[in-house]
A = this chain, B = another copy of it.
Amino acid sequence: MLRRFFPPLQWLPAYRRDTLRGDLSAGLTVGVMLIPQGMAYALIAGLPPIYGLYASLVPLVIYALLGTSRQLAVGPVAMVSLLVAAGVAPLAEGDPGQYVTLALLLAFMVGVIQLGLGLLRFGFLVNFLSHPVLTGFTAAAALIIGLSQLKHLLGIPLPRSNHIHEILWSAVQQVGAVQVPTLLIGLGGIVVLVGLKRWKKTAPGALVLVVLGTLVVSLGDLEAAGVAVVGEVPRGLPVPTLLSLDLGLMQALLPIALTIALVGFMESIAVAKVYAARNRYEVDANQELIGLGLANVAGSFFQAYPTTGGFSRTAVNAQAGANTTVASLISAGVIGLTLLLLTGLFHDLPNAVLAAIVLVAVAGLIDWKEIRFLWQVDRKDFALFLLTFVATLGLGIEEGILVGVVASVALVVYQSAKPHTAVMGRLPGTDTYRNVVRHPQAQMPPGVAVLRMDASLYFANAAHFQEVVRATVQDETLQAVVLDAYPINQIDATGVHALKRICEDLKAQGIDFYIAGAKGPVLDRLYRAGMRETVGNTCFYHTVHEAIVQRDEVRPSMLQNTRFVHLVPA
């Protein structure tokens, strides 16, 4: 019990010096990576860069104590930062103090929602974000994030907007006002980052760029030339603050808080599962919600805006040898020391360098491989991807996800409303029955139609099912229908009615009806509905072949080889 709520108790007894060595290396690497990344992501969120460091402190410590993943690197991430900006900017009305207050209130709400979902064991909700929806949403978000950084790259004011054309048009109009030194630093930064990454995957590119950029601005006195810099950064650890819980503001923030709670958890659990499988341990979705939730709640009292487990940093963490969440504690230590000792060094860091870090990071969010995969494997899923992408750009961040989720559920129901059906024949030399259209060599037993519908039998397709059977029995010479019921995964009351009605109709026409391969849960329901009385007790078989052999008087010998096993309803 205690081990479930404090997962570190599971690995702590086996903690050795070797374990620490890996954790130390990983913790230092991620900590150093967090300094520029945190500040850059704070810019996406529309917050002063220092808040990216604040968000990299307390949440890491809390997750280290409560999380079930041993490699997950919690902290500010690009997607959640974008969602924070989308939700907070319209409410802050240009007041920077209010902006910070709202961002922290949002972290508190996200934490409470995740905690609640975890305690209620609602972790499964996250499964409703399908691959195509996530891919489309992420690609659109990457575009929006990228464009939000254009102003830092060009050194001109641009409107904060979801509408690409507004931003681009505004940029074109101000093309004469572009600050060339800022642009050069930004483009140079991108070249350095991409170059370093090509040269060596584990190179601490962002850190190198931060040092280079700061030096260039300092030595060239470029701040005087108009290059925007991070400026005065307050020294010291974040001051604990009590949030005032304004109900009106909380109501206004609720939709975005729900979105961040789910999207943030989604990103986190996806990467956590990858490394859990790779290192042979289990992550518990509900405990993860509890851990991330409490990290956000506790963080919100220490100036941290919403955080979650990130893809790229977790990869670095694992690669650098993280064995347990002790690595996270060490990363938090690096950030803590930075806040206490090094903030003075950030004064001359140009915003264009942070923008370059963001742009290189989000370019990787557009998953071209997955988009090609969707196109090849499933055009409907590709359409879902496209719909979510367009809806996110056109309607907004939360609306895009909502449209995607509703459309994917609707598509599933729609597909099962008119499912694939097949008339089956026996594959020569086997007891297997397959679709005669796909297997022209399959032999249809004379006078018997073997039918299959590839769906659960329920209200959405019960009428369609009846029509399929009625269309099949137009054949005058038909003596029997065998329904292959093995693909019927669920049956509801409407489905049971349809099956009974079909059976009565066939009886009235003098056609026998056999149900083959119905599975336990379906059989239970059919028996309770009195189906044995309607079809006849002897009309249930394990397989299509059994049903056909049983009624085939010409070859009774095969029947003797088959032992009919009584089906036991639970």
Contacts and interface: CB of A to CB of B under 8 A. Distances in A.
A293 B543 CA distance: 46
Contacts of A561: 429
A521 B420 contact: yes
Interface string A433-468: 011011101000000000000111011111110000
Interface string A478-499: 0000000011011011101100
B418 A124 contact: yes
Contact of A493 (B131, B412, B439): B131
Contacts of A462: 127
Contacts of A505: 277
A377 interface: yes
Nearest to A521: B420
Contacts of A343: none
Interface string A388-413: 00000000000000000000110011
Interface stretch (A9-17, A296-304, A562-570): A562-570
A459 B563 contact: no
B562 A454 contact: no
A204 interface: no
A470 B274 CA distance: 13
A301 B50 CA distance: 71
Given A492-B130, A493-B374, A427 B542 contact: yes
A461 B408 CA distance: 13
Contacts of A129: 459
A430 B565 contact: yes
B459 A127 contact: yes
A312 interface: no
- In this complex, the member of A377, A434, A542 whose beta carbon has the largest number of chain B beta carbons within 10 angstroms is A377
Interface string A250-272: 00000000000000000000000
B521 A131 contact: no
A131 B489 contact: no
B431 A431 contact: yes
A553 interface: no
A528 B412 contact: no
B565 A439 contact: yes
A381 B561 CA distance: 41
A415 interface: yes
A542 B493 CA distance: 32
A459 to B, nearest CB: 3
A417 B493 contact: no
Contact of A454 (B132, B519, B569): B519
A525 B489 CA distance: 20
Number of copies: 2
Given A463-B127, A470-B277, A520-B435, A377 B528 contact: yes
A116 interface: no
Nearest to A498: B131
Given A409-B413, A568-B439, A493 B132 contact: yes
A543 B544 CA distance: 13
Nearest to A505: B277
Contact of A377 (B460, B490, B525): B525
Contacts of A380: 492
A297 to B, nearest CB: 26
A432 interface: yes
A133 B462 CA distance: 15
Nearest to A376: B528
A184 interface: no
Nearest to A408: B459
- In this complex, the member of A378, A381, A493, A494 whose beta carbon has the largest number of chain B beta carbons within 10 angstroms is A493
A130 B462 CA distance: 9
A529 interface: yes
A48 interface: no
B124 A464 contact: yes
A565 B441 CA distance: 9
Interface in A486-517: 486-487, 489-490, 492-494, 496-497, 501, 505
Given A470-B277, A520-B435, A529 B565 contact: no
Given A427-B565, A439-B568, 11 more contacts: A124-B463, A130-B494, A377-B525, A377-B529, A378-B492, A380-B492, A435-B519, A438-B520, A438-B570, A454-B489, A455-B489
29 contacts: A124-B463, A124-B464, A127-B460, A128-B459, A130-B459, A130-B492, A130-B494, A131-B492, A131-B493, A277-B505, A373-B493, A378-B496, A381-B492, A381-B493, A412-B413, A415-B490, A416-B490, A422-B520, A427-B563, A428-B563, A430-B565, A431-B431, A432-B542, A434-B542, A439-B565, A454-B519, A456-B489, A486-B487, A487-B487
